[in-house]
Every structure is written in C-alpha cells, then in structure tokens.
Chain A
Amino acid sequence: MNALDVTLWMVAPYVALTIFVLGHIWRYRYDKFGWTTRSSQMYESRLLRIGSPLFHFGILVVALGHVGGLVIPKTWTEAVGVSEHAYHLTAVVLGTVAGVCTIAGLAILVYRRRTVGPVFTATTRNDKLMYAVLALTIALGLAATVMANIVGGGYDYRTTISPWFRSVFYLQPEGELMASAPILFKLHALSALVLFAVWPFTRLVHMMTAPVGYLTRPYIVYRSRDDQRGSRPPRRGWEPAGRP
C-alpha cells in the first residue's frame, strides 16, 4: 500500500464524513431558511412529472441496495441461507434496473434544466457542481456494476469494498482491501466521497429532512406564539419568570 492508497482510503473518507456531519450541523444552525428542495415545478411540470419520480424512486432503491451490499456483512446473508449466487443475481438485476431508471430520470431532469428557460435561469453554480458530482457518481456506479458483470463475469465487492466501508466506521480503516478493487469501483467510491463532502452545501440537504414524520403526526398543528419568543432566545439574565 503506497501513500496514495493511504490518503485515498484511510484519510479521505474521514475528511469527507467530517465535512458531511459538521457541514449539516452548521447548515442546520445557520441556514435553516436555505434548507429547501427549491422545487422548480412551478416553471415546468410536464418533464418533471416523468423525470423526477423516475430519478427519486430509482435512487431510493439504489440507496437501499447500498445498505444491503455495504452494511450487511456477507456472513449474515449466508447465515440466513442466501447463497452468493442468489445475492449477486438479485443485486445485479435490481441494481441495474434501478440504476438505469435513475440515470434516465437524471438525464430528463438535466435536459429539462438546460432547455426550459425559467428552470435554467433558476439554476445556480452550486446546482451545476452538485449535478456534475451526482451524475458522475451514479454513472461510475452503474458502469462498475455493468462492466464487472459483462466483461469480468462478476466481482464480489462484499469481500473487499464492503469490509473496507465498515472498517471506516470501526475507526480501523483497512485501506489495503480497497486498494485491490477494480478501478471503476475505486473511482465510484472516490466520487461518492466528493459527493458527501459537497452534500451539506447543496440542495441535496432536503434529503436529510425527508418528511417521514408526516405519517404519524396529527393533521392540524397548533403552535403557541410563546414557542418562539421573538426571533431569538432571550439574553442571559432576561429569561422570563416561571421556568426552572
């Protein structure tokens, strides 16, 4: 393992994850007002109605697939009787379908963003950077899957990449596992690290506040004016009486 490998697979993940976590905390504290999907549906909805669900549902399946492939160890799936072949088949088929949906949706959305005047005007440089990194990551991921299965006859990333991924979270990164992975997988992982690093500073933050709570909360929300005392907390020594 050379210095480059150490940097890429043992240092960079921590840099990216630190930026990811601290960035979100920072953004949430200082830019709640900017924390939004910034939907452009008002401008155009014909293309959006095809592209957006295609992309979003696709990426949700892809994300679930990553949880299944990276987080759950191979030993666990084998313990419940799922053979490597069965796993691999499911992963490749599901992953390819979802990946193609995602890419197609993304292509429609990017096409829409470029060609529909008002949508293009509303696109910031930040959005363009985010689109580039996101598209690159997805494309590399799909390419890695397809290449490995068509050309190489399958690659068992659950013996190299997945343990490396988990090792990062154990704080004992096993960089040498990743150093041996095929180049496309390496590039995919690297671009994902870049994506995580820019994530908190882009509109992608909307994902962190996915409104799952809506399923359980009461329909009508009442809030007292006292909840928010002015636009800031009282200064020290000026807290109202009646609080411990």
Chain B
Amino acid sequence: MTRVMAQLAMVMNLDKCIGCHTCSVTCKQAWTNRAGTEYVWFNNVETRPGQGYPRTYEDQEKWKGGWELNRRGRLQLKAGGRLRKLLTIFANPLMPSIGDYYEPWTYDYDRLFSAPVTEDTPVARPRSLITGEPTKIKWSANWDDDLAGAPELAPADPVLKKVSDQVKLEFERAFMFYLPRICEHCLNPSCVASCPSGAMYKRSEDGIVLVDQDRCRGWRMCVTGCPYKKVYFNHRTGKAEKCTFCYPRVEVGIPTVCSETCVGRLRYIGLILYDADRVAEAASVKDEKALYEAQKSVMLDPRDPEVIAAARASGIPEDWLEAARRSPIHKLIFDYGVALPLHPEYRTMPMVWYIPPLSPVVDVLRETGHDGEQAGNLFGAIDALRIPIGYLAELFSAGDPEPVRAVLRKLAAMRSFMRGINLGGERDESIPAAVGLKPEQIEEMYRLLAIAPYAERYVIPKAHAEEGARLEELATGCSLDYDGGPGMGGPFGEASGLPAPVAVENFHALKERQETDDLDRASELRGRVNLLNWDGKGTPDGLFPKRKDKS
C-alpha cells in the first residue's frame, strides 16, 4: 500500500516574468522586514546569466549543498554525514558570510534635514546595517539585474561555466531571462536532514517545510545543507528562517504573497499527490539526467481510482483530493508536460517548478530577421540554438537538453497555432501533432498559461474544515506572536502574554479601544473574563470594565 501525501507546489512561467521584483518586495514587507533579516529575501528574482543570490550559490563543489550518491550508491548529504556535521558544528566551514549575500544598508536620511545651510546639497550617505558605520554599497541581492556588469560578473555564473566556451560567447550576445526563486519545499529536503536539533520539519498535510523557532538552536547546518541557499540565519535572534509558503494564507485558501502580487500572473499554485515511501528511492537514481523522470514517477495521478483509494486510506480529505484533481500544477507537469524542476541534480526533489522561457529563442530569430512566431522557424531554431538550450538544460534538467527542447517545442507550437487562430481563423492541426499534443490540449494550455483567472491559477484547498475556527485564529493573529516570539514583548506592555484569540469579548474590547480617547484605557484589553467559560458564579475580576473615576 502506498503512503500518499499531499504537497502544495508552485509553477512559474518564466516567459511571463518581466523582472519587476514586486514578488520580492511584497514578500519582504510581509516576512523579513525585521532586524536581523535585513539581508534576507525569501523570494528573490535573479537575472540569468548571473551569479545569483547569494553569489554563486549553484556551485555545489564550493558550497556542498544537497545530496549526492556515495560509493555504494546510497544517498548522503553532500556536506558529509551526521558525525562530520557534529564535528564541524563549532565553526561550519561551508557557511556563507554576510558578504556572500550582501551587507544591508540604510541611508543617513536625517542629514537631509539636519545639515546646516551650505552651498552644496546635503547627501544621505549609506550606512551599514551590520556595523552601523558609513559604508560603500558594493553588492546586493540583485546587483547584476538586467545583466548589469555582465561582461565582468556573468562569467562567474556557475551554470554558465558548465556550458562550453564556444556556447558562452554566443550566449552572452543572445539573451537573458529572469528567474524568481523561493524555497523549493522539497520532497527530500536536505536542510531538514541537516538540522542537528530536529527543528526543521516537513508538514505532513501539505508538505510545507518550516523551522520550529522554539527548537532551533542556531547550529546553522540547514543554511549550508540547502543547495538553493534558501534557509537564512537571522543574525539578531540566532535562529534560522525561511520561506513559509505563506502558510497562514494558504491554510485559509488564499495564495502566497508573492503569487498574489505577481504582476505578470506567472505563478500557479496547486496540490500534488505523491508516494512518500518512494521518494528516497527516486532521489537515488544513478544517472542525474534521469532524476527529472524519477521525480515525476513519484507523483501520483489524482484521477486514478487506486490512488484515490490509497489517498483516502492515508487520511487525505475529500476536498483535498478534489483540489488535486483540479490542480494546475499537475496539468502543467503531466498533461501538457511543460514544467521542469529547478536543478534536479541536487537530488532534493524540489517542488517549485518552472516553465522555461521561449522568449530568448524568439528574440534571436527576430534579430536575425526571421518571423519569430512561425512554427517552422521556431522548431528549427530550438533545434539549432545550442546555447540557450544548453543553459536552460543546466538549470532544469541536469544538463540533458531533450526535456527542455521538448518543452520549448510545445510552447512554440502553442504560440504559432494560436496565432493562426487569432489572425486568420485557420487551425493548422499539423502544429500540435508535431509536438504530440491534441489541438484542444493546446487551446486548454493556452487558456491556462495566458488568460486563466485567479481561481484556475490558484487551486488551494483550505486546511481541514473542522479546524476552521482554530485556523481563523491563526490567520488573523500574528504567527510570530507566540509566547517568547519576536512579536511579543514579554510579560510587560500591551502585546505581552499569549495571543488573544479572536472572540466576542476581545472584539468588543478592541472596538472600545479604537473609539476611546484615553490612551491608558488600552490596558483594559487584558484581564477580561471570557464569558464563554464563565460558570455564572459570582463576579470575577474584569467581568465589568473598571470605573473610569472613583469620584
């Protein structure tokens, strides 16, 4: 009997990314605008070719993230086994420094106002948020945005280095694209496996990978264990933090902040069912190039009656099974076969997949004076343009050009088939046939990729209905507001103590506070009696509001 688990997954359509960084900025405002996380971007957008953030994180010979096969063909952490991890715990040799990310800064804005009258306009100088000293801005999370400084910086791109020299030159002339990245919420997370205290875990309901802030002891092994470098160290609190897949939002059925605010509407969220018992086996496939297919083989068809029966036996609720059947992710990975995993060779079984961009190929065609929308030209170019294909293959299929080529041919087919319909009304059915799809499938795919409304892009089942009331409390309170958490101030002050649930009595208290003129009446939020628990005997303290004045 297979152990079926559900996983919330994301697909990003790179052709539609305009590199506006709205996802990064809104994510930062929501999650990492606190002291200690100034340098942290749970979501970042990289220009490729480029070094990425942190610099050259994809060079696993240097950083040793993810898994590898040992001599006996068994899966082991690339950074070494358990004992080795414990022996290097006092000074982790693979830990990125703040300089590998960038030194965050602010500006002396006050100077603009406080400077005495002079001939020169006062200047707000940059100041390091790490040392507090004046600093020079030399790097950032997107320093090489839009290929800025590319002749100098791009050659250090670890992916570009893997593509051969001749390819390199042509490539730099040819194109660029954007790669938005969040945590991959892997099926086989090496960060979780690296955590000595067992504070990191994968949620068994939805597969979201989280850090238990109460159990994290700051050993920093997760930071180095993740090959995508998507676990960060909060240098103020001494705890690891990472992308949460906006769990308080997805639990109530709304998409992550990065998806919600995506200008290009290029993100899709949905469920994937997978066989948890086969993950390790699939991640141990010998040939790196077979990992893409291996990962697909772990995922289950939500329409298969056997899978449905097994999923029910594993305790997955009906509404989740229904959501899995409607999942845009499953369609993009299986029905249309256009989504690919990022760096499957890390053997972590990542669950944020990408539709590789066709636009670079179109750009090259157009530059050479050809019709970049015509199927024949596009197919020819996809076969001929070794450079972009090679680069994309290093990102999405461990260097095997075939999966990338197949995806791009499908995208090209969709482009020219739909152009035919929209311009001339003619349906050239030979085009879909050339990529092994039916015309209706192409039209469905076009709908999903180009015009799908919100509810089709984000199919997110709510967390269990019977837990609704409690989750409502979770989603409306601050998730960091727990006892001792960063959102609270200890047993002093208004926000201290355990978070108050949303309930009748504090609803009224809040209303009262908002309408009152007295600041000190804010204290009445505390010490009130929960009428739902009151046994009706006597008049406990706080049953009635305090008299305003005793005169």
Given known contacts A211-B86, A231-B481, is B238 in contact with A45 (CB within 8 Å)?
no
Cβ of A125 within 8 Å of any chain B Cβ, yes or no, is no
A39 touches B470 (CB 8 A): no
Given known contacts A211-B219, A214-B85, is B203 in contact with A224 (CB within 8 Å)?
yes
Write out, one digit per residue, whether chain A residues 3-35 have a CB within 8 A of any chain B CB (1) or not (0): 000000000000000000000000000111111
What is the predominant secondary structure among interface residues of chain B facing chain A? loop
B483 touches A214 (CB 8 A): no
Closest Cβ of chain A to B205, distance in Å, is: 5
- Which residues of chain B are near A224, meaning CB under 8 Å? 203-205
A118 touches B201 (CB 8 A): no
Please report the C-alpha to C-alpha distance between residue A94 and residue B485 in the assembled complex, in whole angstroms.
43
Nearest CB in chain B to that of A35: its residue:
B217
Cβ of B83 within 8 Å of any chain A Cβ, yes or no, is yes
Given known contacts A36-B216, A39-B220, A206-B218, is B483 in contact with A30 (CB within 8 Å)?
yes
Closest Cβ of chain B to A114, distance in Å, is: 14
A42 touches B97 (CB 8 A): yes
Write out, one digit per residue, whether chain B residues 199-214 have a CB within 8 A of any chain A CB (1) or not (0): 0111111100000111
What is the predominant secondary structure among interface residues of chain A facing chain B? loop
Cβ of B189 within 8 Å of any chain A Cβ, yes or no, is yes
CB-CB contacts below 8 Å: B336-352 with A: none
B218 touches A231 (CB 8 A): no
Cβ of B196 within 8 Å of any chain A Cβ, yes or no, is yes
Closest Cβ of chain B to A41, distance in Å, is: 5
A232 touches B205 (CB 8 A): no
B93 touches A223 (CB 8 A): no
Closest Cβ of chain B to A140, distance in Å, is: 24
Please report the C-alpha to C-alpha distance between residue A236 and residue B532 in the assembled complex, in whole angstroms.
11
Please report the C-alpha to C-alpha distance between residue A230 and residue B193 in the assembled complex, in whole angstroms.
25
Nearest CB in chain B to that of A30: its residue:
B484
Chain A, interface size category, equals 35 or more
Write out, one digit per residue, whether chain A residues 222-243 have a CB within 8 A of any chain B CB (1) or not (0): 1111000111100111000000
Give the residue among A42, A217, A224 with the most B Cβ atoms within 10 A: A42
Cβ-defined partner of A230 (8 Å) among B96, B97, B235, B470: B470
B86 touches A36 (CB 8 A): no
Please report the C-alpha to C-alpha distance between residue A221 and residue B207 in the assembled complex, in whole angstroms.
11
Write out, one digit per residue, whether chain A residues 34-62 have a CB within 8 A of any chain B CB (1) or not (0): 11111111111100110011011100000
Please report the C-alpha to C-alpha distance between residue A229 and residue B236 in the assembled complex, in whole angstroms.
28
CB-CB contacts below 8 Å: A192-231 with B: 206, 209, 211-215, 217, 219-225, 229-231
- Which residues of chain B are near A41, meaning CB under 8 Å? 91-92, 95, 97, 220
Given known contacts A32-B484, A121-B131, A231-B483, is B95 in contact with A213 (CB within 8 Å)?
no
Please report the C-alpha to C-alpha distance between residue A49 and residue B180 in the assembled complex, in whole angstroms.
34
Nearest CB in chain A to that of B471: its residue:
A230
- Which residues of chain B are near A221, meaning CB under 8 Å? 192, 195, 198, 200-202
- Which residues of chain A are near B172, meaning CB under 8 Å? none
A33 touches B485 (CB 8 A): yes
Please report the C-alpha to C-alpha distance between residue A209 and residue B474 in the assembled complex, in whole angstroms.
29
A118 touches B218 (CB 8 A): no
B499 touches A37 (CB 8 A): no
Nearest CB in chain A to that of B93: its residue:
A49
Cβ-defined partner of A121 (8 Å) among B132, B463, B479: B132
Write out, one digit per residue, whether chain B residues 456-500 have a CB within 8 A of any chain A CB (1) or not (0): 000000010000001001100101011111100000000000110
Cβ of B237 within 8 Å of any chain A Cβ, yes or no, is yes
A122 touches B235 (CB 8 A): yes
- Which residues of chain B are near A42, meaning CB under 8 Å? 95-98, 233, 235
B97 touches A39 (CB 8 A): no
Closest Cβ of chain A to B462, distance in Å, is: 12
Closest Cβ of chain B to A193, distance in Å, is: 26
B202 touches A222 (CB 8 A): yes
- Which residues of chain A are near B201, meaning CB under 8 Å? 221-223
Nearest CB in chain A to that of B478: its residue:
A231
- Which residues of chain A are near B482, meaning CB under 8 Å? 231-232
Cβ of B242 within 8 Å of any chain A Cβ, yes or no, is no
Cβ of A182 within 8 Å of any chain B Cβ, yes or no, is no
A43 touches B193 (CB 8 A): no
Cβ-defined partner of B197 (8 Å) among A33, A209, A215: A209
- Which residues of chain A are near B463, meaning CB under 8 Å? 225
- Which residues of chain B are near A211, meaning CB under 8 Å? 86, 89, 196-198, 217, 219
Cβ-defined partner of B486 (8 Å) among A33, A38, A39, A231: A33
Closest Cβ of chain A to B402, distance in Å, is: 31
A219 touches B192 (CB 8 A): yes
B498 touches A214 (CB 8 A): no
A214 touches B82 (CB 8 A): yes
A117 touches B133 (CB 8 A): yes
B97 touches A235 (CB 8 A): no
Cβ of B215 within 8 Å of any chain A Cβ, yes or no, is yes
A33 touches B218 (CB 8 A): no
- Which residues of chain A are near B485, meaning CB under 8 Å? 33, 231
Please report the C-alpha to C-alpha distance between residue A117 and residue B133 in the assembled complex, in whole angstroms.
9
Please report the C-alpha to C-alpha distance between residue A25 and residue B65 in the assembled complex, in whole angstroms.
36
B192 touches A57 (CB 8 A): no
Please report the C-alpha to C-alpha distance between residue A35 and residue B484 in the assembled complex, in whole angstroms.
10
- Which residues of chain A are near B95, meaning CB under 8 Å? 41-42, 45
- Which residues of chain A are near B32, meaning CB under 8 Å? none
Cβ-defined partner of B130 (8 Å) among A31, A43, A236: A43
Please report the C-alpha to C-alpha distance between residue A53 and residue B197 in the assembled complex, in whole angstroms.
19
- Which residues of chain B are near A222, meaning CB under 8 Å? 201-204
A220 touches B189 (CB 8 A): yes
Please report the C-alpha to C-alpha distance between residue A122 and residue B501 in the assembled complex, in whole angstroms.
35
- Which residues of chain B are near A209, meaning CB under 8 Å? 197, 217
- Which residues of chain A are near B214, meaning CB under 8 Å? 32-33, 35
B90 touches A57 (CB 8 A): yes
A37 touches B238 (CB 8 A): yes
Give the residue among A33, A40, A48, A57 with the most B Cβ atoms within 10 A: A33
Closest Cβ of chain A to B78, distance in Å, is: 13
Cβ-defined partner of B533 (8 Å) among A30, A117, A213, A237: A237
Cβ of B239 within 8 Å of any chain A Cβ, yes or no, is yes
CB-CB contacts below 8 Å: B119-147 with A: 130-133
Please report the C-alpha to C-alpha distance between residue A236 and residue B534 in the assembled complex, in whole angstroms.
11
- Which residues of chain B are near A53, meaning CB under 8 Å? 90-91
B484 touches A39 (CB 8 A): no
- Which residues of chain B are near A31, meaning CB under 8 Å? 484
B198 touches A37 (CB 8 A): no
Give residues in A with beta carbon < 8 Å to B.
30-45, 48-49, 52-53, 55-57, 117-118, 121-122, 206, 209, 211-215, 217, 219-225, 229-232, 235-237
22 contacts between A and B (CB under 8 A): A34-B484, A37-B217, A39-B220, A39-B238, A42-B95, A48-B91, A49-B91, A52-B90, A55-B90, A56-B90, A117-B131, A118-B131, A211-B197, A211-B198, A219-B193, A220-B202, A224-B203, A230-B501, A231-B474, A231-B498, A232-B499, A235-B530
Give residues in B with beta carbon < 8 Å to A.
82-83, 85-86, 89-93, 95-98, 130-133, 188-189, 192-193, 195-198, 200-206, 212-220, 233, 235-239, 463, 470, 473-474, 477, 479, 481-486, 498-499, 501, 530, 533
- By Cβ-Cβ distance, the 3 closest A-B pairs, closest first, are A211-B196, A38-B238, A231-B482
